[in-house]
Structures are given as structure tokens and as C-alpha cells.
Amino acid sequence: MIKIENISKNLGEFFLKNVTLDIGTGEYFMILGPTGAGKTILLEAIAGIYNPDSGKILMDGRDITNIPPRRRNISMVYQDYMLFPHLTVEKNIAFGLKLKKIPIEEIKEKIEDISRMLNIRHLFHRFPGTLSGGEKQRVAIARAVVTEPNALLLDEPLSALDTKTREDLRHELKKIHSVTGITIIHVTHSFEEVFSLGDSVAVMSEGMIVQVGRPDDVFRRPNCEFVANFVGVENLFKGNSTINNGISDIDIDGAVVVSAICKSGDCTVSIRPEDILISRNKIESSARNSFNGKIVAVIDKGATIKIVVDCGIPISAIITRRSLDDMGLREGMSAYLTFKASDVHLM
Amino acid sequence: MTKKEPFFWITISCGFVIMAFILLPLIEMITAPSLSMLRETIRDKDVLRSIWLSIYTAGLAALISFVFGTPLAYLLARTDFAGKRLVESIIDLPIVIPHPVVGIAILSIAGRNYWLGQIFSELGIRIMGSVTGIVIVLTFVGMPFYINAVKEGFEGISPRLEKVSRSLGASMFSTFCRITFPLAWRSMLVGIIMCSARAISEFGAVVIVAYHPMIAPVMIYERFEAYGLKYSQPVAVWLVSICLVLFLILRVLTSPRKKET
């Protein structure tokens, strides 16, 4: 679909260095990296805002490197929405369709459909200034998707939203992707987003692509220290969940973790290491999750100590140095991990 | 109630001094001429002609600034290039140059000894003592105010709005017309008002390039020189009031409607 061949661009503060990527048709492709890694320029280069200093961009085999943005049919959504403040929600969404000289009846139909899908039909006559962050981003997504672009570029679309809205929009994005089958390139600095949305991920640092692969591959087998540190999210697992008596049993490679969040089917599980209790003997408590395993690593993190216990799956717990000394934990020892079902997060 | 510290009273009294400093001369000037004197002045064809000349030459200067200054203001707001600071300083030059010097400078390129002056005279365009000359001088002194106001307006519009528009299928020109202009026109209006206000007030440069035809400030000066304060005041009052009303009308006509808030 979109092939980026060895492009470089120097904008002074931000730059791209020999970026090569191959994004398949209908793929949900994530680009992950810290602030200043060059993610936004990469998106803007794909959109055609900047011409690269060198290298080529191909779309469906056609060289589009020097084609202006309006002939690429690639839409963009920014973190800060960028709705046209002088136009109503309806006119914002219709903007791209009007430029394409589509008959007015057809425009109406299309914006009606997309607005129903994103649940923004009731906002049509409002101006952007009166909308909440979540509403604005839905409108921005609708405006981008309604033109049926060859690819949809999302520049940290969820970063400015509160947790609840972010969660909702993440589902919407997933829905849009599965309903329309559109190719999506989504820039983020959150590994959770990568895990819950992406088919593939490219990790960027200082204008370069440092690793490309499936999210769990990149997560489990980072190819360099930068990726290891950057994606360093502990206790993130893919599993399959079944709901049982109002709680979810999630099977992760044979180990069953219980979560208070009800969700069935394939899912991503995350448990914060500081929510896990570690003990040398089994403890009786109301916590639904208790695992026994062998300590495989004791890692000094300065103020705290990270202990990795192999319970069939590697689970990390964070304890204080004082606890480590008091309990005398060492690599190779047996230990129990206990955590509450309500501390198990499901995506 | 807590007792205010002396500093508070210093700030208040300075405020009063400045208000008085600005308002006293203006009020005195406006109230000095009698109503019959004012009536008589406005019936004077020469006065009307010079006020009208002042207004329309200033308006032309603003129009020229709008046409040529808008693209430059956009360029300065959107791009960084080597020498940008220099270009900006050059644009500000007319603000800092003494006004008679502006007049002399413009005359020196309009003369027959200079190639531009020769071209002008071959084309039959006269600068010295003509409306053309007045418009050129007013544009020269007013343009920086327009460009600076509009540049600031453009800078306040996120370039990303334009990028989104372009990605949705708009050309750069179409993006400017559909997005940038509707968002920036209010700053253009401010620029036009600033530019024409500055142009209407110009005296020193105009008097060198074109004593005749007489713009209002030149006429006020002439009446002052020839007949004294009493005869120059009414013209001044009329000039100030007509300009105030015009600017007020412009503001009201273009004030934002409530719907967008």
C-alpha cells in the first residue's frame, strides 16, 4: 500500500534519517517513539506537507514523492483536533467532500452515515469552540474518514483526552478500522495503544526507525536498549477471556488471571507491578489472584527493586529495598505473588 | 478596609496625570470653535475637498497595503529564511525615519536624475504635487502598520489547520481562501484601520512631496500659519470627528456575530 523508501528530511530541530517502511493495505500501523523522535514529520511527509530531501514514497506502486497533498487522498488527524473554528461541525465534516465536487445529496448521506457511526449527529449545528475534547476528536476523525481516503494518518489522536474518553475513542478507532478496512498509520508514545490497536509497530528514535514488527514481538524481543527501555511496560500480556460469575478468567499461555473487568474474547491484560504483593509463603486474603513461581531476576532500580517471578508467565513486582532486605529474596528462590482482581486491567 | 499603601496612590495619580495630559488639549481644541464657526467651516468647499482628499488617499494607501502587504505578511508569518530579520527591520524603517526625510527620499527617486523618475515622467506620471505623490507617501508610512498587524494575525492561526485542509483536497490557494482568510480577516481589518489612521495623520512627508493638492493636515497647518489658531481649529475638529465616525462604522459593520462563541 504505502512504501517509504529511505527518506530523509532535515527541518533543523526535527529530522528524518533514512526511514524505510512498508505498510500493507488495510493494516493498522503504529509508529511509537518519544517526543522529538520525528514521528509527526514522518506523517506529514506521507501526507505530502513536506517533500523529503531524499528517498521515495510509493502508494500502490505509484511514486507520490512529489505529488501535492490534495492529489494523494490521505487524511490527517492531529492531537489538537484542528477543526476549522469558523465552520459548524457539519461544514467541517463536509469540507473534503465539497472540495471533491461530490453532489450535495451524496455529501449529506455520507456525513449522516459517518456521524451516526461516531455518535456526533446531534452536534451538527454547533461550532467547534463549544465542543468537549472527545467530541472534537470524533468530529476530526469523521472529517478525515468521510472522504474515504487511501490512508488515514493519526498524530497522537488520543493523547489530549482524559482516560475514559480515550478508552471510548480507542474502541471507535478499532470499529472504524474493522468497518471501513481503511489503512491507518497511528503515531503514539503510548505502548498500551500500540498493544490494543496495532497490527504492526515501528519504533522511532532520533529520526530513525529502530525496530519494526508485531507489537508483542517488539515488546518481548526488543532489538536494542532504547526499545527495551522505551517500551518498558511491565506485565502486559495477550490472553483470552471468558466471563464467569461477573468476573473474567483470562487464559494467558496456560496461566489464568482473574479480572474484575468483564470482557470476553481476545484481550490485553496489564497489571501494575506496584499493585502486586510478594511473599515467601502463601497468604490467605480476599485477593483473587495468587501465583507461585521462581524468582528469575532481582533488578536494582535505585529507589525500588524489581523482582521478576516466573509463574508460567513472567510477572514483575516492585518492592522497596527495605522489604527486599527483610525478606531476604534472591534469584532462584520460590515466592508467591498476590494481587486483586480489580487491579487487573483489561483492554 | 485595609489601608492602601502609598505605591497604590502613586499609580492612581500617574494615571490621572496622563489622562489629563491626553484629554485636556483635545477637549480644548474640540470645544474651542463655536457651532456657527463649525457650520461655516464645513460649508467651505476647500475644507471639504481637503478632508475628502485626506480620507480617500489614506484609503487608497490601505488598499495598496492590503493587496501587496497581505502575501508578504503571510510569507513572514509562515516561513523562516535567512535574512528574515533584515526584511522585518526594513519593513519597520518607515516608522522610525523622520517624516520630512521620507518626503525627501521619495522626491529623490521621483526626480528626472533618477531612472525611476525618468520612467515615470515618460509615462506621464507626476509625483511632485500630485495625488499620486500623496498616495505613494501615505502608503510608504502606513504599510508597516498593516503588515505587522496582519503578520501577527496569521501567526495566530495554526499552520496545522492549513495542513489538514490541504490533506482534505484543497490547494494552497483554496486553503488560503477557505481557511486562512476567514480566520485572519479581522486582523486585516485592524491592519487597514491602523494603516489608514497613520496615513491620515501624516503631514511632514506630504508637505514636501505635495503641498498642493492640499490634504487636511496641510490645510490646517496653512490656516494656522496664515490666520492663527482660531481658523485652524474648526478644520481639525471636522477631520478628527469624520475619521472617528468612519472607523467606528467600519468596526460596527464588521463586529463578530455572537454565533461563533
- φ/ψ of A331, rounded to 5, equals -55, 140
Q: Do B167 and A84 touch (CB under 8 A)?
A: no
Closest CA to A72 of A92, A95, A50, A88: A50
Q: Tell me the per-residue pLDDT of A201-243, one tens digit each, with 9 for 90 and over.
A: 999 999 999 999 998 788 767 777 778 777 766 788 888 999 8
Which one of B162, B167, B174 would you mutate to disrupt binding with A, by most A Cβ within 10 Å of its Cβ? B167
Could you list the beta-strand ranges (E) of chain A: 2-10, 15-23, 28-32, 54-59, 62-63, 74-77, 151-155, 183-188, 200-205, 208-213, 236-244, 247-252, 255-259, 265-271, 277-279, 289-300, 304-310, 314-320, 334-339, 344-346
The secondary structure of B90-108 as a DSSP string is: HHHHHHHS-HHHHHHHHHH
Mean pLDDT for chain B overall: 92
pLDDT-based confidence at residue B261 (cuts at 50, 70, 90)? very low
**Which residues of chain B have a CB within 8 Å of the CB of A76?**
163-164, 167
Q: Who contacts A240 (Cβ-Cβ below 8 Å, separation ≥6)?
A: A250, A251, A265, A266, A267
Decide which of B14 and B247 is more confident. B14
pLDDT for A347: 72
b/e burial code for range A200-212 (CB count within 10 A of at least 16 → b): bbbbbbebbbbbb
In this structure, are strands A265-271 and A15-23 parallel, antiparallel, or unpaired? unpaired
At the top level of CATH, the class of A236-346 is mainly beta
In tens digits, what is the pLDDT along chain A, a chain of 347 residues? Answer: 899 999 999 988 889 999 999 999 999 999 999 888 999 999 999 999 999 999 999 999 999 999 999 999 999 999 999 999 999 999 999 999 999 999 999 999 999 999 999 999 999 999 999 999 999 999 999 999 999 999 999 999 999 899 889 989 999 999 999 999 999 999 998 887 888 899 999 999 999 999 999 987 887 677 777 787 777 667 888 889 998 888 899 998 888 999 988 888 888 888 888 889 999 888 888 888 999 999 988 888 777 888 989 988 889 898 888 888 888 888 899 999 999 998 888 87
Nearest CA-CA distance, residue B165 and chain A, Å: 8
Q: Do B168 and A143 touch (CB under 8 A)?
A: yes
Q: How many CB atoms lie within 10 A of CB B228?
A: 10
**Which residues of chain A have a CB within 8 Å of the CB of B180?**
none
**Which residues of chain A have a CB within 8 Å of the CB of B261?**
127, 129
- φ/ψ of A127, rounded to 5, equals -95, 150
Q: What are the structural domains of chain B?
A: 57-213 (1.10.3720.10)
Which one of A41, A49, A75, A145 would you mutate to disrupt binding with B, by most B Cβ within 10 Å of its Cβ? A49
CATH label, A2-230, candidates 1.10.287.3510, 3.30.70.1140, 3.40.50.1820, 3.40.50.300: 3.40.50.300
Mean pLDDT for chain A overall: 90
pLDDT for A343: 86
Q: Do A70 and B171 touch (CB under 8 A)?
A: yes
Nearest CA-CA distance, residue A21 and chain B, Å: 21
Q: Chain A, 108-137: which have a CB under 8 Å from a chain B CB?
A: 127, 129
Q: Tell me the per-residue pLDDT of A148-166, one tens digit each, with 9 for 90 and over.
A: 999 999 999 999 899 889 9
Residues of chain A with CATH 3.40.50.300: 2-230
Candidates B161, B167, B259; nearest CB to A84: B161
Above 0.95 for ipTM, yes or no? no
Give the Cα separation of B221 and B202 in Å (integer): 12
Q: How many CB pairs under 8 A join A and B?
A: 67
pLDDT at B253 over 80: no
Closest CA to A85 of A97, A75, A95, A70: A95
Candidates A48, A68, A96; nearest CB to B168: A96
Cα B230 from chain centre: 27
In this structure, are strands A28-32 and A200-205 parallel, antiparallel, or unpaired? parallel
Burial class (CB in 10 A: 0-12, 13-18, 19+), A158: buried
Q: Do B163 and A95 touch (CB under 8 A)?
A: no
Q: Do A72 and B167 touch (CB under 8 A)?
A: yes
Residues of chain A with CATH 2.40.50.100: 236-346
Q: Chain A, 233-292: which have a CB under 8 Å from a chain B CB?
A: none
Q: Do B169 and A73 touch (CB under 8 A)?
A: yes
Nearest CA-CA distance, residue B259 and chain A, Å: 8
